[in-house]
């Protein structure tokens, strides 16, 4: 049974307010997407990698992969008009090369701090249950609101989990899910886990991490740089 990573890098990163897509921004002379690719390149249980890439940046991605020796990258497919569309493009491409029993780990290209432990637990959970969603506990008090300005109640945080990626599935199951979603007219679900719920499926949780941040704003880049510096200090001890 193969485990293949599918990185979603189809977005333009408008909230970052930069001139190039955020997955290609450089931090310490390395593009963000290379940090993410290396996490899966270096994991012994990942056999191959696919990337759903924003249109026009495919040749740049291949060039960076050669420069940084990302030998597991085998498939680059175009992004879609939204996240669900991009993921569907990716899993349908992988379906041509892998069996339905193989596991695909769908991961945001802009989560460069994903650890080997997170990847491993996602694989183990998916092998056992057919799917795995990386999550962390909700540490904050959660308030409900209707207008974004005033509370209308609160929600017990023990009943909530914050989802991350990777989100892993048997390849045949996630492809079937996307086909059924299209027939049902569901075309813009926020994530694979929400698509599962909207289609009446259960999801199982695997371990995420507070460090597994998603780079959405300039402030997130500052946190990423700080995390990299902290890790480097650990290596020097």
- The mean pLDDT values, 10 residues at a time, for the chain of 237 residues are 96 72 94 98 98 96 98 96 95 98 98 98 98 96 95 94 98 97 94 95 97 95 94 61
pLDDT at 18: 78
Q: What is the pLDDT of residue 235?
A: 56
* pLDDT tens for each residue of 204-227: 999 999 999 999 999 999 999 999
* Of 211, 171, 173, 170, residue with least CA distance to 39: 211
Q: Which of 83, 86, 65 is nearest to 74 (CA)?
A: 65
Backbone angles phi, psi at 205, to 5 degrees: -100, 140
Q: Give residue 1's pLDDT.
A: 86
Q: What pLDDT score does 19 carry?
A: 78
**b/e for 176-215, b at 16 or more Cβ within 10 A?**
bbbeebeeeebeebebbbbbbeeeeeebebbbbeebbbeb
Rounded Cα–Cα distance for residues 28 and 180 (Å): 43
Going by C-alpha positions, the residue among 136, 138, 133, 134 that lies closest to residue 203 is: 133
The pLDDT score that the predictor gives to residue 232 is: 67
Cα–Cα distance, 86 to 106 (Å, whole number): 11
List residues bridging with 161 in a β-sheet.
137
């Amino acid at each position: 049974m193969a485990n293949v990573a599918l990185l979603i890098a189809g977005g333009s990163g408008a909230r970052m307010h930069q001139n190039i897509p955020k997955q290609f921004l450089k931090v310490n002379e390395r593009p963000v997407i290379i940090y993410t690719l290396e996490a899966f390149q270096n994991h012994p249980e990942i056999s191959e990698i696919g990337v759903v890439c924003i249109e026009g940046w495919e040749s740049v991605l291949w060039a960076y992969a050669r420069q940084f020796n990302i030998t597991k990258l085998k498939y680059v497919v175009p992004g879609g008009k939204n996240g669900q569309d991009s993921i569907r493009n990716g899993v349908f491409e992988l379906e041509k090369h892998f069996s339905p029993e193989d596991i695909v780990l769908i991961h945001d290209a802009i989560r460069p701090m994903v650890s080997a432990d997170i990847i491993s637990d996602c694989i183990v959970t998916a092998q056992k249950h057919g799917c795995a969603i990386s999550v962390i506990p909700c540490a904050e008090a959660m308030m409900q609101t209707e207008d974004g300005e005033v509370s209308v109640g609160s929600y017990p945080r023990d009943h909530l989990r914050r989802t991350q990626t990777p989100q892993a599935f048997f390849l045949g199951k996630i492809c079937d899910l996307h086909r059924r979603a299209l027939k049902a007219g569901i075309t813009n679900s926020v994530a694979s886990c929400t698509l599962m719920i909207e289609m009446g499926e259960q999801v199982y949780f695997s371990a995420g991490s507070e460090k597994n941040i998603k780079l959405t704003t300039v402030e997130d880049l500052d946190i990423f740089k700080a995390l990299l510096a902290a890790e480097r200090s650990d290596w020097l001890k």
